[in-house]
Amino acid sequence: MGWERREAPPPPGVYVTTASYHSKLVEDYCARYHLIYLVAVYDRDGTCQDLYQCCSSQPRSDGRCFIFGDVEWREELAEKCRVETYLYKFRDIRDALKTLLEFGMHVKGIPCTEFNIDVLRVTGWCDVDPICCDVSAVKEKIIEEATATYHQLQTQHLPSGTGDAAEEADDGCAELARHAAETLGADVSRLRRCLCRT
């Protein structure tokens, strides 16, 4: 038995993504496409016959029907948009949420952080990809690495301060000034004073 298709708006339920709604965007979208909703119906004891009816008869807080869609459904959309709803029955709540999560992430390309954190936790997605749920560990690592790199670079750029190195640098500069003076016919000592300031 596959997904049950209805040409009707989604029944009441819990949206698995942080659903946003912008009427202008929805109008543009509806001018070209149908709105599609996937509804995972959690039916542990298998008593539900009409899936749509089961969701409609439950209070919203019951958490029996989980919905994935591009926008949260509103009555006003009925006039502007063609809508399709696909329903499927699940015995396990984890399977229900995981199906919607994987569809959203892999088919629609929605980043995991746009899903409700509870959905990510229940499906075990926080263990698969911890960044989706908590970035504090990564943040610490980034700060640590960046600080270490910064200090390493600072140490490398510090002048060694030894006489030999200073002399070497000075010799290099003097040599360069001499060449420039020869080529340009400039006063070597003045040129050196200008160029070889430490």
Partner 1 sequence: MPHIDVLLEACKKKEVAAARPRLCALLLMYKHLPRVGVVYLRTSAHRTPVQKWLEDMPGLTGEDKRVIMQKLMKAIGEAVAELKKKVGGVASAATLRRAILRLLLEELRNSA
Residues engaged in binding partner 1 (CB under 8 A): 20, 22, 24-25, 109-114, 129-132, 135-139, 141-143, 145-147, 149-150
Q: Which is nearer to partner 1, 111 or 159 (CB)?
A: 111
Q: Which is nearer to partner 1, 24 or 197 (CB)?
A: 24
Q: Which is nearer to partner 1, 92 or 150 (CB)?
A: 150
Q: DSSP for 109-138?
A: ---GGGB-HHHHHHTTHHHH-GGGT--HHH
Structure tokens at 17: 């993504």
Q: How far is the CB of 100 from partner 1 (least distance, A)?
A: 17
Q: How far is the CB of 119 from partner 1 (least distance, A)?
A: 15
Q: N- to C-terminal Cα distance for the chain?
A: 83
Structure tokens at 149: 């790199």
Q: Which is nearer to partner 1, 150 or 167 (CB)?
A: 150
| Rounded CA separation 133/15 (Å) | 18
Q: How far is the CB of 104 from partner 1 (least distance, A)?
A: 11
Q: How far is the CB of 192 from partner 1 (least distance, A)?
A: 27
Strand order across the beta sheet in which 35-42 lies: 4-6, 83-90, 35-42, 65-69, 14-15
Q: How far is the CB of 114 from partner 1 (least distance, A)?
A: 7
Strands 65-69 and 83-90: unpaired
| Rounded CA separation 170/197 (Å) | 10
Q: Which is nearer to partner 1, 144 or 167 (CB)?
A: 144
